[in-house]
Amino acid sequence: MEVSYSALNISASLLSEASTMNLSVTNLALQKYLYFIQLWNMKANKKPAFADDIEAWRHGPVIRDVYNKFRKYISSPIDPQDKALQENRVVLDNDTYQVVQYVLQKYSELSDWDMVWMARATQPWEDAYISGETAIIPKDSLLEFSRTFD
Distances from the Cα of 88 to the Cα of 15, 71, 83, 119, 127, angstroms: 11, 17, 9, 25, 31
Give tens-digit pLDDT for 2-54: 678 999 999 999 999 999 999 999 999 999 999 999 999 999 999 999 999 99
- CB-CB contact of 92 with 13 (8 Å): yes
Q: Is residue 119 situated within a structural domain?
A: yes
Give tens-digit pLDDT for 81-90: 999 999 999 9
54 backbone dihedrals φ, ψ, rounded to 5°: -110, 130
pTM of the prediction? Answer: 0.96
Q: How many Cα atoms within 13 Å fall on the side-chain side of residue 6?
A: 12
Q: Is residue 115 situated within a structural domain?
A: yes
Q: Is residue 2 situated within a structural domain?
A: no
Q: Is residue 1 situated within a structural domain?
A: no
Q: Tally the domains of the chain.
A: 1
In terms of residue numbers, what domain contains 40? 7-146
Q: Is residue 68 situated within a structural domain?
A: yes
The gap between the terminal CA atoms of the chain, to the nearest Å, is: 22
5 backbone dihedrals φ, ψ, rounded to 5°: -120, 155
